[in-house]
Structure 1
Amino acid sequence: MAKYSLEFKLKIVQEHLEEKRGINCLAKKYGFNCNTQIRKWIHAYNELGEEGLLRSRKCRNYSVQFKLDAIELYLTTELSYQEVANLLKMNNPPLIANWLKTYRKLGIDGLSKQKGRPPTMSKKKRNEIQPLPSEQSQLDKLEKENRMLKIENAYLKELRRLRLEDEQKMNESRESFTASEDTFD
Structure 2
Amino acid sequence: MVNYKKHSLNFKLRLVKAYLNGGSYTGLAKVGGITRSLLKKWVGHYRQQGIEGLLPPGEQSYTREYKQEVVLVYQSSGLSLGECCFKYRIPSPSTLAGWIRQYEQFGIDGFSTARGRPRSMKSKPKIIKRYGPLTRLEELENENLRLRAENDLLKKLDALIREKEVAQKKKR
Shorter chain as denominator, the TM-score bin is 0.5 to 0.7
Query: In 1, Cα distance between the equivalents of 2:90 and 2:110?
Result: 22
Give the gaps of 5 or more residues in structure 1.
118-125, 127-185
1:41 Cα offset (Å): 0.3
Cα displacement string for residues 55-91 of structure 1 (whole angstroms, at most 9, x for unaligned residues):
122x333221211111111112221122212333x14
Structure 1 counterpart of 2:9, from 3, 6, 19: 6
Superposed CA RMSD in Å reads: 2.6
Instruction: String of CA shifts for 1:126-160, please: whole Å, max 9, x gaps.
Output: 9xxxxxxxxxxxxxxxxxxxxxxxxxxxxxxxxxx
Correspondences of 1:78-93 after superposition (within 5 Å): 78-88=78-88, 90-93=89-92
CA-to-aligned-CA distance 1:38-69 (integer Å, 9 cap, x gap): 01100100111111111122x33322121111
Consecutive unaligned residues of structure 2, counting only runs of 5 or more, are 118-125, 127-172
**1:24 maps to amino acid:** T
Give, as a single letter, the amino acid of the residue that structure 2 aligns with 1:30. G
Residue 111 of structure 1, CA deviation: 0.6
Q: What's the TM-score, normalizing by structure 2? A: 0.56
The AA in structure 2 aligned to 1:92 is P
Question: Would you say the 8 A contact 1:2–1:55 is kept in 2?
Answer: no
Secondary structure at the aligned position of 1:85 is classed as: helix
Quote the residue 1:155 is aligned against: none
Instruction: Rate the CA distance shift 1:67–1:92 in 2: closer, same or farther, 3 A.
Output: same
- 2: distance between equivalents of 1:30 and 1:43? 17
**Max radius of gyration: which structure?**
2
Q: Contact (CA 8 Å) 2:90, 2:96: kept in 1 or not?
A: no
Runs of 4+ in 1 over 6 A off after TM superposition: none
1:104 aligns with 2:107: no
Deviations 1:4-24 (A, max 9, x none): 222211111121123x11112
User: What is the TM-score normalised by the length of structure 1?
Assistant: 0.53
**1:105 Cα offset (Å):** 4.0
- 1:128-139 to structure 2, matched below 5 A, reads none
For residues 49 and 91 of structure 1, what CA distance do their matches in structure 2 show? 15
Task: Give the distance between the partners of 2:54 and 2:98, measured in 1 at CA.
Answer: 21
CA distance in 1: counterparts of 2:10 and 2:90, whole angstroms = 17
Could you tell me which residue of structure 2 aligns to residue 30 of structure 1? 32
